[in-house]
Amino acid sequence: MDTTDFRETMDVPAAEAPRAGRREWVGLAVLALACLVYAMDVTVLNLAVPQLSADLKPTSSQLLWILDIYGFVVAGSLVTMGTLGDRMGRRRLLMIGAAAFGAASVLAAFATSAEMLIATRALLGIAGATLAPGTLSLIRNMFLDPGQRTVAIGVWISSFSAGGAVGPLLGGVLLERFWWGSVFLLAVPVMLLLLALGPRLLPEFRDPAAGRLDVVSAALSLGAVLAAIYGLKRIAEDGLGWLPILSILAGIALGAVFARRQSALPHPLLDLRLFRDRTFAAALTIYTLGAMVAFGSFVFTAQYLQSVLGLSPLRAGLWTLPSALGFVVGSMLAPAVVRRVRPAFVMAGGLALAAVGFGLLSRVDAGSGLAMVVAGSAIFSLGLAPVFTLATDLVVGSAPPERAGAASAISETGAEFGGALGVAILGSIGAAIYRRQVGEALPSGISPDAAESSRDTLGGAVATAAQLPPDVGAALLGTARDAFTQGLQLTAGVSAVGAIGAAVLAVLLLRHVGGGAQPEAGTVAGLKASAPGGARADPAVGPAVGAADC
């Protein structure tokens, strides 16, 4: 089996970069399948909540942790796992993560208590954090040709979109026939396939000069990200309060300590010099902004389909397929377009198209609800997909090859933070509109407790309306749905403005990047020269490893 270490490759002109063959493309298919399962695990559990609640009888707090702990731990572990892959070997860490993900999925499926399910979901999060940066960093080394790498990253992005869309559909089918734990078992055959084919199809890469993992830095990174995202999520769900604010401040403080420690370490967990690269920093900013407007809107459209239009979870999932298809199409078109147009203008055009989609969502009303939501979501997804593809390509491609794992982890962490910010900011705006509108128009004859529940969330209003006399319940339901629709309209308008602002930033900050998503010459030369070990390796090493037999 090939155990060749990855040594730093010299900059190779795009025209001379070796092209990937059939083995690399088959390997990409295996990686994409693993990412699809990773994305499915974020959404598949939502449909199982009623059965799970009846079986395990979790408290309201435990149920929140069952749903949230996976995403929290993934976000907090990305930087550590991405950098750990650079140190111990990216394929090796991916295989360990796949085995752990499969085992934790089985444990979660047969959990006998809420506490056990929370613990196994946390283990799934740790294992899941190896998948996104691990697969992306391997793509960076398997596809050295810039054009092929952009296509490969487009496939990688599409796999997440497909997983997010397929998860609720497969979950709905399983839950009609089996118990709630069956949704976790979807991951097991895919992880077994990755374990079987990965050693044969995927090359091994690691940086022999990376040094030992700093455990204190890993703990600081986990604490900073967990605290910040927890605070943002609580603001989105419960509004401003001392606990979420203190949590965010604690995250910022831990992040500052983490950054200071990285500057002093000879072998840091995260090399902060990456952020000095103009292309890297600008692409990461655009990616984070794009994730912010996308995730904020997804929250509202999903609730609108079910709680306003009254669709079942399965039907609502089916109507989200056009949006997922938009992501897939946009991701696959991006490589062809960027051959002729500079990435900055492709990204700006995609963001402008996304603004059109958000504009449609801002016009949703009672008569055009379903059609407008589906069309608007599909259009903004089609526009944002090239942004995510090219921004990811630029982030990973502008970093030195031996730090691809760390760069991939930073890219994914940026997406997580962008999503959390979108949910918190846009969710807070929509929630404020909803509470004000419902509070001003509550029908008479509702108890104080029922009124408070109805003002809190649309779901609370739906549940309350079902327990009231028909005429009072219908009045409350109409008021709540109108208020939520107004919140959706306003947040979609804010998202449109945000997308236009991001488009302007893309042109201003990335116009120096040439065609084929190639960063400005020399942007990483200084970083490479000052890398630990400072070695200039044989340029044939990278291609040789990529094509080596196991």
419: closest CA among 304, 298, 329, 321?
298
**What is the CATH code for 22-207+525-550?**
1.20.1250.20
Give the per-residue pLDDT at 448.
77
Three-class SS state of 293: helix
Give the integer Cα–Cα distance in Å for 230 and 252: 12
Give the integer Cα–Cα distance in Å for 511 and 347: 10
- Tell me the pLDDT of the chain averaged across its residues: 76
Residue 410 predicted with pLDDT over 60? yes
Query: Residues of the chain with pLDDT > 70: what percent?
Result: 82
C-alpha distances in Å from residue 222, one per residue of 78, 79, 257: 9, 8, 12
Give the integer Cα–Cα distance in Å for 42 and 381: 18
Average pLDDT over residues 110-132: 86
Residue 354 predicted with pLDDT over 90? yes
Give the integer Cα–Cα distance in Å for 43 and 45: 6
Amino acid at 382: L
197: closest CA among 94, 102, 267?
94
- Give 83: exposed, middle or buried? Use CB within 10 Å, 0-12, 13-18, 19+: buried
> What confidence category does residue 338 fall into, taking pLDDT thresholds of 50, 70 and 90?
confident
The answer to whether the beta carbons of residues 150 and 390 sit under 8 Å apart is yes
Instruction: Enumerate the domain spans of the chain.
Output: 22-207+525-550, 214-268, 278-519
Ordered alpha helix ranges (H), 320-457: 321-338, 343-361, 369-398, 404-441, 448-456
Give the per-residue pLDDT at 549.
32
Of 292-301, 459-468, 477-486, 528-537, highest mean pLDDT: 477-486
> What confidence category does residue 60 fall into, taking pLDDT thresholds of 50, 70 and 90?
low
Residue 543 predicted with pLDDT over 60? no
Least confident of 282-286, 406-410, 434-438, 482-486: 406-410
Would you state the torsion angle of the CA atoms of residues 103, 105, 111, 116, taken in this order, to the nearest 10 degrees? 80
Count of Cβ atoms closer than 10 Å to residue 58 Cβ: 19
Give the per-residue pLDDT at 8.
37
Q: ∠ at Cα 43 (38, 48), nearest 5°?
A: 120
C-alpha distances in Å from residue 280, one per residue of 256, 263, 286: 20, 19, 10
- In tens, the pLDDT along 226-274 reads 888 778 777 766 667 788 889 889 988 998 898 888 777 777 777 777 7
> What confidence category does residue 5 fall into, taking pLDDT thresholds of 50, 70 and 90?
very low
Domain 278-519 has CATH 1.20.1250.20: yes
Asked whether the domain spanning 278-519 has the same topology as the one spanning 22-207+525-550, the reply is yes
Give the integer Cα–Cα distance in Å for 375 and 363: 11
27: closest CA among 147, 134, 166?
134
Residue 504 predicted with pLDDT over 90? yes
pTM exceeds 0.75 for this model: no
Give the per-residue pLDDT at 532.
37
Give the integer Cα–Cα distance in Å for 350 and 510: 14
> What confidence category does residue 64 fall into, taking pLDDT thresholds of 50, 70 and 90?
low
> What confidence category does residue 47 fall into, taking pLDDT thresholds of 50, 70 and 90?
low
> What confidence category does residue 288 fall into, taking pLDDT thresholds of 50, 70 and 90?
confident
> What confidence category does residue 222 fall into, taking pLDDT thresholds of 50, 70 and 90?
confident
- In tens, the pLDDT along 144-196 reads 777 787 888 888 878 877 777 777 777 777 777 888 888 888 888 888 888 88
* Tokens coding 391: 């921004």
More confident residue, 66 or 405: 66
DSSP structure class, residue 521? T
Give the integer Cα–Cα distance in Å for 72 and 65: 9
Least confident of 59-68, 279-288, 525-534: 525-534
Give the integer Cα–Cα distance in Å for 489 and 483: 10
Residue 550 predicted with pLDDT over 70? no
Average pLDDT over residues 341-369: 87
The answer to whether the beta carbons of residues 106 and 185 sit under 8 Å apart is yes
Average pLDDT over residues 81-104: 83
Bridge partners of 514? 518
- In tens, the pLDDT along 416-475 reads 777 767 777 777 777 778 878 777 777 776 777 777 777 777 777 777 777 777 777 788
Give the per-residue pLDDT at 379.
93
Give the integer Cα–Cα distance in Å for 270 and 263: 9
